[in-house]
Amino acid sequence: MRRILGLLVLLAARAAISPAGAIPLSMLLFFAIPGKAQSGTLVGKIEVTTGKKDENSVIYLREVKGNYALPQKQAVMDQKGKAFIPHLLPVQQGQTVRFRNSDTFSHNAHVYWEKRSMSNQSQPPNGYTDWTPARTGEYLFLCNLHLEMSAFLLVFNHPFFAEVASSSEFQIENIPEGTYTLVAVRDVKGNLKEKATEVVIKSGETTRVTVKF
Amino acid sequence: MRDLFLKSFSALVLFGIVLSASQEASAIPAFARKYQTSCSTCHTVYPVLNSFGKAFKATGYRIPAGDDAFTKDEPVSLGAPAWKQVWPDALWPSDIPGGSVASFWLSSRYRVNKSAPITNEFDGLHEVYVLTGGTLGESFSFFMELEVIDGGTIPTAFGAALPRAFFQYNHPSHKFNVTYGLFEPRAELTSTRLRLMRLSDYLSNRYGMPPSGNSFSLAPNQRGFEVWGNVEGPGNRGGLEWFAGVVNGRDAGTPPGAGAYGAAISGLNTRLQAALAREGRTPVENNSNKDFYLGANFKIGGMGVLGGGASETELAQADNFVDNSATVGAFYYRGQAPALVTEAEREILDRDGNDFHRLGFKVDLNLHRANILYGVQRNRDQVRTVARNFDQLINMVEVRYVLWPWLIPAVRFENLNPNYGVAFNRTTLHASILARANIRISLEGILSRNSTTDPIRDYRRYDGGNDQRFDVRVDFAF
């Protein structure tokens, strides 16, 4: 609150001073953006013992409040070697998912949400289609042309998630300090299973966690 | 005979030491191919199952800790598992084995029998089996055994040429499963197909009731269905196996195959066939009257019956024959068979004349490297026309010891005590040498004591016609 009030005062002061005023913009930004001093970093590892070991996992923080800008990087679900890559794709609500076909034959991305068909688009060889999920939650991708293909899309309303290759490390930065529920998600025999654990994020610190799945 | 046995055994041990000191085997049957693991993962000495192998069988031929992580041979997908979420708007997904599911088991024997017209002979290729098994998705599995050569001849009867062929439903909890087809029932003191001593089968599984004309035997197979399940014990150790089944019951005609037991009771079957011919009837199959059975085995200690306690990250391929535990079990089998009865000095066939049952109890101990199996079985045939019960009490003790992982000696003692004749004993001595995990040399000798030449009481006739036999056998599987 004090930072916000300070910002307002400086904005008013800047407005009163000439455009080439002495108050630098960077100082204003310092008050506007929560810096490293108010957030921490989460690093960790998922040790995989269930499901197919070559399939990735997703980790995310549950129930994080706030408004966050969309990531700049394009979310891509590739179709290559008759497989969706990655198997679990996390995105932020509002992001568009590009279904790219890297095979030399056609594919089709059939999107389901709670057993309801939401989208069914074909992608020619080396082509792509775009689709934007309307809501948060879990979506299922299947290919009507190649039944062995499947993948899941997880849509969150914040950017605090990570895609984790099997038994690899992950890192999430700039997490507002506080206590959260960290959830690891994997595909186990066609259904997403979760493992939850509590983590405490402290300002300027790195919290380490290992999830066994 | 004993001197010959001891000399041959010593020579075989030395031979085995030389062979087993060489490189490891690389040939692997169907399950071993699927998981890229050795036979010794599931077998103490094939086909005898170790505790992990029993758990693998109990989970429908799946690795107890989870098949996906251990499967090296990618199955052919009939739909990704996630298609389940779309059902009923799509087919429920499944998969079929990706690679070759066929395995081959070949055996050859050198036989010594001082009482036979030919006292010793090489039988060339005595048995050739094609075995196949695997899983179909998460919930189904199958197993099939095809005899290409049995006893040196090509079998022609269906039950001989295809001794086992069954399909299974496996509930994910493994507490309830259904086996349907042609299979060996669990209602036995111990399995005929998975036994160590190949020369002699268990009297409790194969011996008929000669005076009643009943050639029924629990093994080698029955047609019907069996429901069964396993529940792991506290702390994931030991546990309970339960089972029940409804089957046709084995026919009273000529038993399938030309193995020892087919020949062994040929005198009985000759009489059966003669009685049928007099009545103008074809061989009898009591299909309208079904047999049923039930039972349970309870394991105390050791690995859980569903693999509890086994590593969840690696498959143990060595030192996995130790599983200190005790199993107690019991079963009851009831059936109906034709009875061969004498009327007016002629033998006739009473189609439904024999209500019989088999009641068994066993204790199976694993003590470090030793396994001790004790079983007792009471067989009763109730022949209505003569208002008489024919009983047998069979006691059996079998002991084997893993001296080294490649050298396993064993001995079995059986006593059959009937209420209609003279009791007899049979002692079987055995030693298996694993030249490789899939190559076995075994030395086996049968000793039995008989006292009369009466066709009913000459039990040697039910044991291949001889009371002392000695085999050297080579088995290899791939």
pLDDT, tens digit, for every residue of B53-111? Answer: 999 999 999 999 888 778 888 889 999 999 999 999 999 999 999 887 889 999 999 98
For B156, residues 6+ apart whose C-beta sits below 8 A from its C-beta are: none
Q: Tell whether the model's pLDDT for residue B18 goes beyond 70.
A: no
Tens digit of each residue's pLDDT (9 = 90 or more) over A63-79: 888 888 888 888 999 99
Does A112 contact B at CB distance below 8 Å?
yes
Nearest chain B CA: its distance from A138 CA (Å)? 12
Choose the closest CB to B82 out of A49, A51, A190: A190
Distances (CA, A) of A17 to A13, A24, A26, A164: 6, 12, 16, 50
Query: In this complex, do B86 and A112 lie within 8 Å of one another by their Cβ atoms?
Result: yes
What is the spatial distance between Cα B238 and Cα B54, in angstroms, rounded to a whole number?
12
* pLDDT (0 to 100) of residue B265: 47
Chain B 138-157, residues with CB within 8 Å of chain A CB atoms: 138
Give the count of Cβ contacts less than 8 A between chain A and B. Answer: 55
Chain A residue numbers with beta carbons less than 8 Å from the beta carbon of B85 are 112, 115, 140, 190-191
Residue of A nearest to B71 (CA): A52
pLDDT over 70 for what percent of chain B? Answer: 83
Does A147 contact B at CB distance below 8 Å?
yes
pLDDT over 70 for what percent of chain A? Answer: 81
Distances (CA, A) of A80 to A100, A106, A109, A112, A125: 9, 11, 13, 20, 10
Residues forming beta bridges with residue B304, ordered by sequence position: none
Choose the closest CB to A190 out of B66, B69, B93: B93
Query: In this complex, do B68 and A152 lie within 8 Å of one another by their Cβ atoms?
Result: no
The interaxial angle of helices A2-16 and A25-32, nearest 10 deg, is 160
Q: How does residue A5 score in pLDDT terms, banded at 50, 70 and 90?
A: low
Average pLDDT of every residue of chain A: 84
Residue B331's φ and ψ, nearest 5 degrees, are: -150, 160
Query: In this complex, do A147 and B78 lie within 8 Å of one another by their Cβ atoms?
Result: yes
Does B78 contact A at CB distance below 8 Å?
yes
Q: Tell whether the model's pLDDT for residue A59 goes beyond 90.
A: yes
* pLDDT (0 to 100) of residue B72: 85
| ipTM for this prediction | 0.76
Choose the closest CB to B82 out of A51, A52, A142: A142
* pLDDT (0 to 100) of residue B152: 74
Query: In this complex, do B86 and A115 lie within 8 Å of one another by their Cβ atoms?
Result: yes
Chain B residue numbers with beta carbons less than 8 Å from the beta carbon of A187 are 81-82
- Alpha-carbon Rg for chain A, nearest whole angstrom, is 21
Nearest chain A CA: its distance from B70 CA (Å)? 9
For A26, residues 6+ apart whose C-beta sits below 8 A from its C-beta are: none
Segment among B15-24, B44-53, B109-118, B429-438 with least mean pLDDT: B15-24
Tokens of A77: 């679900």
Chain B residue numbers with beta carbons less than 8 Å from the beta carbon of A150 are 80-83
* pLDDT (0 to 100) of residue A14: 54
Does A129 contact B at CB distance below 8 Å?
no
Does B82 contact A at CB distance below 8 Å?
yes
For B315, residues 6+ apart whose C-beta sits below 8 A from its C-beta are: B35, B37, B41, B63, B70
* pLDDT (0 to 100) of residue B21: 39
Nearest chain B CA: its distance from A83 CA (Å)? 10
* β-strands A39-47, A206-212 pairing: parallel
Does B313 contact A at CB distance below 8 Å?
yes
What is the spatial distance between Cα B350 and Cα B275, in angstroms, rounded to a whole number?
10
Does B84 contact A at CB distance below 8 Å?
yes
Query: In this complex, do B312 and A112 lie within 8 Å of one another by their Cβ atoms?
Result: no
Tokens of A62: 């549950």
Average pLDDT of every residue of chain B: 83
DSSP structure class, residue B123: -
Chain A residue numbers with beta carbons less than 8 Å from the beta carbon of B312 are 49
Tokens of A177: 């300090």
Nearest chain A CA: its distance from B154 CA (Å)? 42
Tens digit of each residue's pLDDT (9 = 90 or more) over B290-304: 999 999 999 999 999
Among B214-218, B385-389, B409-413, B415-419, the range with the most confident prediction by mean pLDDT is B409-413
Q: Tell whether the model's pLDDT for residue A180 goes beyond 70.
A: yes
Alpha helices in B210-366 (DSSP H): 260-264, 266-278
Choose the closest CB to B79 out of A115, A147, A189: A147
Q: How does residue A2 score in pLDDT terms, banded at 50, 70 and 90?
A: low
Tens digit of each residue's pLDDT (9 = 90 or more) over B296-339: 999 999 999 999 888 877 788 777 889 999 999 999 999 988 77
pTM reported for the whole predicted model: 0.79
